[in-house]
Each structure stands twice: as C-alpha cells, then as structure tokens.
Amino acid sequence: MVTTGDTASTTIPLAPDTPRRRRPLGIVMGVWWPAKALVDPFVSLLRPLPSITWIPLTILWLGIGEPQKTAIVFLGSWIYILIYTVESTRRVDPLLIRAARNLGASDLAVMREVILPGALPGILTGLKVTLAISWSCVLTAEMVAAQNGLGALIWQAKDWGNLALVLVGMVCISITVLIADRLANLAERLLLPWERHRRA
C-alpha cells in the first residue's frame, strides 16, 4: 500500500505535463485520420489486405478458372497502382506548375505537359512493383486452386514426386520474371528518355 502511494505521489507531478505536450499531436491525429479515412475509405480498408486473402472470395464469386485468376491479379494490384499514382502526382514540383502557368498554360495543358510527365517515373515504378505482386498473385492462386498454369503444374508435380518437373517449373518462373523485368526496364527507357541522362 505504501509503495503504491509512493509511486502515485511521484508520478502525479509529471502527469499534468504529459497531456499538455501531447495535445497538438493528438489534435492532428484526431482531425487527420478521420478526414483521410473519409477521403479514401476504400484505400484505408483494402490496403492492409494481402492478395492471398482475396482467393476464397474470388473462388466463391467466379469459381475456379481464368476469370478468377484475372480477378485476383486485379484485386491484389490496383491499390498499389492507385497509391503510387496519387503519391507521384502529389510530388510534382509546384514550381514547374507555376512556371507552366506563367508561360500561359491552361489547366488542361498543365495536366498534360507537367503533371503527367512529372508523375510518370513514379507511376512506372508503381507498375513495376505491381508486376511483381501480380506475378506472385497468379502463382499463389494457381497453387491453391487451379487445374492449369505453371503454379498448378508445380503443385501437382510435387504430389507425383517429380522433382525434375518442380525444378523446371521454378526455372521457368524465374526466367519469366527476368524477361518481364527486362521488358519493363526497356519500356521505362523508352518512355522516360530524360531519366537516362539524369542517371548517367
């Protein structure tokens, strides 16, 4: 009892200070989070869901087959494309927008000539990330529930005890990813010629 009283008396002088210091942060969090949640409720709600969690739902909706795989890829990836696009749009240098307006650009011209190319590198990065995510979505979907596809093949090969087929499947996946990566980089070089010089 005595010790409790002691701790209480030592903590009380500190107590009034703590909330006073924390209040600004509390206000910001209190105002900001609901505001953000109201602005993009879908993003806040769907963002935490890993793509695998969509598998049961899509099977219930669409059964097993190609449409279900497409749905998995879409549901697992659109959110990343959206987030990358919104973020990179927000990061376009406001000075460049001001400069464009000063040179007589209309709203539409600012979108086309400044915001789109300014956000493009970020959007393409988002697409590359999405590509990797989509690929693992497909394979997961195929391994969990599918009759055909590379993922299904590897899964079945395991049941047959066919080690060679499992390995061949994995090498195929690896090569596909490498090729897809190369293609994405090529697209990036073609679409962002100015970035090439910046890196050099």
Partner 1 sequence: MPEPILSARAVAKRFPVGRGPELTAIEGFSLDVREGELLCLLGASGCGKSTMLNLFAGFTQPSAGAVMLRGQPITRIEPRCGMVFQSYALFPWKTVQANVEFGPKMRGVGRAERRQIAARYIDLVKLIGFEDHYPAELSGGMQQRVTLARILAADPEVLLMDEPFAALDAMTRQVMQEELLRLHAESRKTIVFITHSIDEALILADRIVVMSARPGRVKTVLDNNLPTPRRVAVQLLPEFARLKAEIWAHVEEEVRRHDEASRRRGSPTREASDVQA
Residues that bind partner 1 (CB under 8 A): 95-96, 98-106, 109, 113-114, 117-118, 120, 192-194, 197-198
Q: How far apart are CB 31 and partner 1 at their closest, in Å? A: 16
Comparing CB distances to partner 1, the nearer of 82 and 100 is: 100
**The tokens of 69 are what?**
């795989």
CB of 192 to partner 1, least distance (A): 7
CB of 23 to partner 1, least distance (A): 13
* CA angle at 54 for the pair 50 and 60, rounded to the nearest 5°: 165
CB of 126 to partner 1, least distance (A): 18
Identify which of residues 90 and 98 has a Cβ nearer to partner 1 in the complex. Answer: 98
CB of 39 to partner 1, least distance (A): 24
The alpha carbon of residue 22 and the mean position of all alpha carbons in its chain are separated, in whole angstroms, by 32
Q: How far is the CB of 198 from partner 1 (least distance, A)?
A: 5
For partner 1, the closer of residues 14 and 103 by Cβ is 103
What is the CB-side half-sphere exposure of residue 113 using CA atoms within 13 A?
Answer: 14
Nearer CB in complex with partner 1: 26/56: 26
Q: Which is nearer to partner 1, 26 or 65 (CB)?
A: 26
> Closest CB to partner 1 among 165 and 192?
192
